[in-house]
Amino acid sequence: MTRGIYSVLLLLLFPLILAYLGFRTIKSPDYRGRWGERFGLTRLKQTDVLFHSVSMGETLAAIPVIKTLMSRHPQLTFTVTTTSPTGSAEVIKAFGDSVQHCYLPFDINFCVSRFIKQVNPKLCVIMETELWPNLLYFAKKNNTRLVLANARLSQKSADKYQKQITLSRPMLVALDAIAVQTQAESNRFEALGVMPDVLSVCGSLKFDLQIDDNKYSQAKTLKDSWDRSQAPVWVAGSVHPGEFDIMLQAHKEVLQQYPDALLIMAPRHPEQFNVAAVSVTQQGLTLARRSMNEAVNEQTQVILGDTMGELLMLYGTANFAFVGGTLIENGGHNPLEPAAMGLPVCVGPHHWDFAEITTLLEQAGGLRVIQDSDELAELLLQMFSQADLHDAAAKASLEVVAQNRGAMQKQLEIIEQQLQLSQLIQ
């Protein structure tokens, strides 16, 4: 498939795109506004540097990089785009009006073309692997230098790119620099036609996660309020439908040996909060919802983490973490957040989006891969009953995070090189 055919197909799918937005609006109120931004219809100012991240995770990784560049080069102007409301909320919280912010338009040619002409960036930094054919084409046509930062490319994604090589290769070779997380991923990019001198292995920005001391104190205060200081507490973070009942079944087995145990279940998407609450009650478990400030009492068995931006703090209240999107064919979410909070971690078999990070943690002893509810319950009971096993896994998690820090400085150097080549700095 070529970019021309791709663009025509997107135009033909325009009614479905509108239907998709309407569906998301029904499920999540956060999608109800700012439709004009998604079609490139808003008025925007020209900017020097454009940063794009997809959702909250990528945005949180990008924020320290952007802040460092802003402090080093106060003369430069920045636009930061996201595609999700959760990512947008993080940008607004971190930067206020010090950057121009909007949603990135859908990759429809006239929408993206108008957006690029208005913003007219000299440098565009795209986080991870959020690559869109029309975005890269019109940016390159605008003489914008392109950096893919914190880049990751699973074998599954590489295979998809290979199947559509006439569409993917022009997009990939348009990139002026790729700061890739691992050597294995660098090899995959090279196999798809990217020149070796474009690639730099830098590690993952997510290893450079800086945890505010307030997170620890908030977690301690919250746990003290539950009066469960000796009770096992575990978090099922970023879980999806299809995983809710698996978590609850495992927790039921834990409750048989530890009647005061707590599960904190945090769904990945806000539109699934109510679905998760229904699942808890249908399983006959007693629920307290964070969003409603419901008290955690002696009868509470499950806390629903139905708030945004609290997951890292909630990990700090726990003894163990499961990271979701891995017992369904989703690709998983970042296991480094609970690891950085000093927790033993487990994931399901479908963790390809974080395969290298998962392998590092697993080889060190900080992470286990489980297949189903029974294995999860068995592992939880082991961790709660064997302090030495738990503490060794927790120490291994922290050591992996500490040993792999430094990606931010390496990636900043690559971005600075491209700033020089774009003549934004001397």
**Cβ–Cβ under 8 Å, residues 150 and 61:** yes
Q: Report how far residue 289's alpha carbon sits from residue 281's, in angstroms, rounded to the nearest whole number.
A: 12
What count of Cα atoms within 13 Å lies in the side-chain half-sphere of residue 198? 21
- The residues, ordered by sequence, that sit 6+ positions from 202 with a Cβ below 8 Å of its Cβ are 150, 179, 180, 181, 407, 410, 411, 414
Could you give the C-alpha distances from 44 to 10, 41, 100, 134, 232, in angstroms and in order? 24, 9, 8, 19, 51
CA nearest neighbour of 325 among 264, 238, 263, 248: 238
CA nearest neighbour of 257 among 389, 368, 386, 394: 386
Annotated catalytic, 294?
Answer: no
What count of Cα atoms within 13 Å lies in the side-chain half-sphere of residue 290? 22
**Cβ–Cβ under 8 Å, residues 311 and 238:** yes
What count of Cα atoms within 13 Å lies in the side-chain half-sphere of residue 66? 30
CB-based burial, 369-397: b 16+ in 10 Å, e otherwise:
bbeebeebbebbbebbeeeeebeebbebb
Query: Can you name the residues that pair with 304 across neighbouring β-strands?
Result: 265, 289
Q: Report how far residue 303's alpha carbon sits from residue 288's, in angstroms, rounded to the nearest whole number.
A: 5
DSSP 33: S
Query: Can you name the residues that pair with 321 across neighbouring β-strands?
Result: 235, 345
Q: Kindly state the helix (H) or strand (E) to which residue 150 belongs, with its residue range.
A: strand 145-151
Tokens 């994931």 correspond to: 347
DSSP 285: -
Q: Report how far residue 104's alpha carbon sits from residue 79's, in angstroms, rounded to the nearest whole number.
A: 10
Among candidate residues 37, 58, 90, 185, the one labeled active-site is: 58
Catalytic residues: 58
